[in-house]
Amino acid sequence: MRAVVLRRGELEVREIPDPVPGPGELLLRTTSTAICASDVHFMDHPEMAVDDPTGRSLYDVDRDIVLGHEFVGEVVGHGPGCGDQLPVGSRVTSMPVRFAGDSGEVDFNAVRIIGQHPEAQGSFAELVVVPEMMAKQAPGDASSDAIAVVDAFAVGEFYVRSANVQPGEVAIVVGAGAIGLSAVAALAARGVEPIVAMDFKEDRRELARQFGAHVAADPAERDLYEVWEQALVDHGLLSAPVIFECVGAHGLVQQLVEGAPMGTRLYVAGGWYSGDQLDITTATRQGVTIQFGGGPQPEDWYGTLDAVVEGRLDPLPSVGEVIGLEGVADALDRVRRSEGPPRIVVHPNG
């Protein structure tokens, strides 16, 4: 099969052996797959996966790695022991994990992230293997490109579910990239009002409005906490802000903590992969509650899939470009520079 292969820090489109599904696994012909900032982070910060204590990821310069972990495909083969609930021809997607070993027994302590481990090759390829137990059919008329970005929108769903925003609270989403838009969409689905989105780029602020933000402001022109205060006045509210940090810029969490009113809740969806610093004393003095990472969980992921399939969520406005395998390296470089649309989708088979 043709695939985008990462080897010794370089990306190359070339032929590699077709993957073979093991016991309890499905072979998919990749219909649509989305580029994620996590693909760039994996490439640019190999130290995070060279010695990953969880074993979920592995960056080995001497082994081929196929990136890509947001995907949907058509079942074209079954490994030994599979059932008949997902026959050949079914449109299927899955959370991006495989299980180590070839016994067919599921070991949740031996998870491999698809697209971030040589033993779990990713979806920037014509074929990809997924566990049957994690796979779910995606029936109906929803676009495969929409289904391919379920993973990104499940992230926002997880953080918004965790935040449990109450009536009278102002939700502020910092960054209107793919994850920020997913948080706005999850807030809007719950009827949260007001929703504030902050982003430097006008096109992304407009997308945030499309997904349900009531206020979209440029942080170069308006301070986040000034926007929050105005929202309180406009809606006759008195509450601390609930902030979703969806950028991952170095120092941003500390900046948000330093200006935070007492009782602020801060959910950090952005990740700074080379480390960052946080003054715990300031956070304590301000009474800030902070949550890092942890999701999405299966209920978020498959719940988001259901919302897309049933037409309750349309993530397609976040998809601004569709490319082939040859365009992946350039697209990843643009993501690295924070350029281009929130989501770029790849069609590996044309």
Question: What's the pLDDT tens digit per position in 304-326?
Answer: 999 999 999 999 999 999 999 99
Q: Residue 103: pLDDT above 60? A: no
Listed residue (181, 182, 160) closest to 171, CA to CA: 160
Whole-number Cα distances in Å, 195 to 203, 247, 318: 17, 17, 18
- Across 91-117, b (16+ Cβ under 10 Å) vs e yields bbbbbbbbbeeeebeeeeeebbbbbbb
Q: What is the pLDDT of residue 104?
A: 52
- The span from the CA of 308 to the CA of 316, in Å, is 10
In the predicted model, what is the mean pLDDT of the chain?
Answer: 94
> Which of 121-147 are b and which e, b meaning 16 or more Cβ less than 10 Å from the residue's Cβ?
bbbbbbbbbbbbebbbebeeebbbbbb
Domain ranges of the chain: 2-149+315-346, 151-292
Mean pLDDT of all residues in 126-145: 96
Q: What percent of the chain has pLDDT over 70?
A: 97
Q: What are phi and psi of 211, to 5 degrees?
A: -85, -5
Mean pLDDT of the 157-170 span = 97
Summarize pLDDT for 36-63 with one digit per residue, the tens: 999 998 898 887 777 777 888 998 888 9
Amino acid 122: pLDDT = 97
pLDDT of residue 259: 95
Q: Give the DSSP H or E segment for 269.
A: none
For the stretch 149-160, pLDDT in tens is 999 999 999 999
Tell me the mean pLDDT in the region 132-155.
96
User: In angstroms, rounded to a whole number, what is the distance separating the alpha carbons of residues 266 and 273?
Assistant: 19
Predicted pLDDT at 326: 98
Q: Which burial class, exposed, middle or buried, applies to 312 when counting CB atoms under 10 A from its CB (0-12, 13-18, 19+)?
A: exposed
d(CA 290, CA 293): 10
In terms of CATH, what superfamily is 2-149+315-346? Medium-chain alcohol dehydrogenases, catalytic domain (3.90.180.10)
Confidence of residue 264 (pLDDT cuts 50, 70, 90): very high
pLDDT in tens, 224-237: 999 999 999 999 99
> Which of these, 44, 6, 32, 1, lies nearest to 321 by C-alpha position?
32
Region 71-90 average pLDDT = 97
Instruction: Please tell me the pTM assigned to this model.
Output: 0.94
User: What is d(CA 53, CA 118) in angstroms, rounded to the nearest whole number?
Assistant: 16
Placement of tokens 């993530």 in the chain: 315
Whether residue 32 contacts residue 144, with contact meaning beta carbons closer than 8 Å, is answered with yes
Amino acid at 345: V
Q: What's the CATH superfamily of 151-292?
A: NAD(P)-binding Rossmann-like Domain (3.40.50.720)
